[in-house]
């Protein structure tokens, strides 16, 4: 019998729905435990409160799978994945979407993205990786996809004691897939693209450009494969300048522009965003709309201060090159930068840029990346849309 006994007081957060137990929240471990094992969790008065998997190599020692005394088997995964899929069918266009978002779907460590009839999976922890074969079987059964691809080339796996690997698990298929997002065609490279190939989490924020960009000169910074740019053009932008430091991303972005018939209205620049924004200000360049969608600057709590300086700098510089009455779409996907902190950084940047910001709307990740109150870490993507005004 493998058991984890919690310290006094810890059970409250678990009972309220948080799925994580840290190393310092455990008072005793009973039985012979191997990394990745399924264990039962008991509170300090010896009552059963859940079942999860353990990894002594991770600070997040146990991740909860269930609060019932049920077997963690094929049926368990099948039921969880069907529930996740049923939810997507109600809230998003399921032609391409995130089918499973880990802890938010009560399947910690598991990511499943669907790009048309291809599924891409990530098993990010040892505990979930042990069930990979079963999970793949169940996915095959439920979706009968043309192919399943594994994108487990993620550094966090090494902390868990897992190798970085990628490749097809089922089917022989071209890893470049064309998806349809808000009527825009997008070529996704599931083999070499970032993460699982594409950032599905911004789908609804890209759609939010509608209205704001009509007839506009747009600067799309950190454009990756050009999705925000393509949406801007779809919604009537006059011209777009799309910037990224990755040559591979820009090559795909160009293919995407061609695919949608926008090549004549878009220009691509391979450059460091920090330099570019600084130079544009010096040169007196200006835009009606600027989009900032940087990578997560804060990878951990430790480099939060540096990250915040980075966010402030790009936002301040962007505000300075936006024409009076123009719009800033500014995002942060760092889990460690909370909503409050992010909004403070934006406010402080506007003060230094001598601008007034008018909030059009504040947005989050798309609905297929659910946010749980009981698990605040699930809110990671923030997207503020502001009108930038001179002081009157």
Strands (E), the chain: 3-6, 20-22, 26-30, 38-42, 48-54, 60-66, 96-101, 110-115, 118-123, 147-152, 165-170, 176-181, 184-189, 217-221, 239-244, 266-270, 287-292, 322-332, 355-363, 382-390
Residue with tokens 């137990």: 21
Q: Say which of 223, 331, 333, 383 is annotated catalytic.
A: 333
CB nearer ligand SAH, residue 272 or residue 374: 272
CB nearer ligand SAH, residue 245 or residue 348: 245
Query: Least Å distance between CB 202 and ligand SAH?
Result: 5
CB nearer ligand SAH, residue 185 or residue 358: 185
Query: Least Å distance between CB 231 and ligand SAH?
Result: 9
Is residue 190 within 8 Å of 116, Cβ to Cβ? no
Extract the tokens encoding 29: 């471990």
Query: Least Å distance between CB 331 and ligand SAH?
Result: 8
Query: Least Å distance between CB 380 and ligand SAH?
Result: 13
Measure the CA–CA gap between 101 and 83, rounded to whole angstroms: 12
Query: Least Å distance between CB 350 and ligand SAH?
Result: 22
Is residue 323 within 8 Å of 287, Cβ to Cβ? yes
Binding stretches for ligand SAH (CB under 6 A): 199, 202, 222-225, 227-228, 244-246, 249, 272-274, 293-295
CB nearer ligand SAH, residue 211 or residue 295: 295
CB nearer ligand SAH, residue 102 or residue 232: 232
Extract the tokens encoding 216: 């506009």
* DSSP structure class, residue 27: E
* H helix runs in the chain, sequence order: 11-15, 74-91, 126-129, 132-143, 156-159, 203-207, 227-234, 247-259, 273-283, 304-320, 339-352
Extract the tokens encoding 356: 């007034």
Measure the CA–CA gap between 100 and 122, rounded to whole angstroms: 10
Active site residue 331: no
CB nearer ligand SAH, residue 272 or residue 354: 272
Query: Least Å distance between CB 108 and ligand SAH?
Result: 24
Positions annotated as catalytic residues are 333
């Amino acid at each position: 019998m493998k058991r984890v006994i919690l310290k006094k007081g810890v059970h409250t957060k678990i009972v309220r729905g948080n799925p994580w137990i840290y190393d310092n929240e455990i008072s005793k471990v009973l039985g012979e435990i191997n990394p990745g094992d399924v264990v039962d969790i008991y509170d300090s008065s010896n009552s059963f409160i859940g079942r999860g998997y353990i990894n002594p190599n991770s600070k997040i020692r146990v991740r909860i799978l269930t609060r019932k005394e049920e077997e963690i088997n094929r049926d368990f995964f099948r039921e969880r994945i069907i529930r996740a899929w049923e939810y997507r069918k109600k809230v998003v266009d399921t032609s391409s979407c995130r089918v499973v978002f880990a802890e938010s779907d009560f399947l910690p460590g598991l990511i499943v993205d669907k790009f048309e009839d291809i599924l891409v999976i990530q098993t990010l922890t040892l505990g979930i990786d042990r069930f990979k074969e079963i999970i793949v079987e169940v996915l095959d059964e439920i979706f009968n996809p043309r192919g399943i691809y594994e994108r487990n080339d993620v550094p966090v796996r090494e902390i868990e004691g897992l190798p970085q690997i990628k490749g097809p698990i089922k089917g022989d298929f071209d890893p470049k897939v064309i998806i349809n997002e808000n009527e825009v065609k997008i070529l996704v490279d599931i083999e070499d693209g970032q993460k699982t190939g594409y950032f599905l989490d911004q789908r609804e924020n890209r759609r939010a450009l509608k209205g704001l960009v009509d007839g506009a000169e747009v600067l799309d910074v950190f454009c990756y494969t050009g999705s925000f740019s393509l949406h801007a053009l779809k919604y009537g932008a006059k011209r777009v300048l799309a910037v990224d430091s990755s040559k591979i991303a820009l090559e795909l972005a160009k293919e995407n522009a061609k695919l949608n018939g926008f090549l004549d209205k878009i220009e691509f620049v391979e450059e460091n965003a920090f330099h570019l924004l600084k130079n544009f200000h010096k040169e007196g360049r200006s835009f009606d709309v600027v989009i900032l969608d940087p990578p997560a600057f804060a990878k951990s709590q430790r480099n939060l201060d540096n990250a915040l300086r980075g966010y402030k700098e790009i936002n301040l510089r962007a505000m300075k090159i936006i024409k009076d009455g123009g719009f800033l779409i500014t995002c942060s996907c760092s889990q460690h930068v909370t909503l409050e902190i992010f909004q403070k950084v934006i406010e402080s940047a506007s003060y230094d840029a001598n601008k007034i910001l008018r909030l059009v709307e504040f947005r989050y990740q798309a609905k297929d990346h659910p946010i749980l109150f009981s698990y605040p870490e699930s809110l990671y993507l923030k997207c503020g849309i502001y009108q930038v005004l001179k002081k009157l």
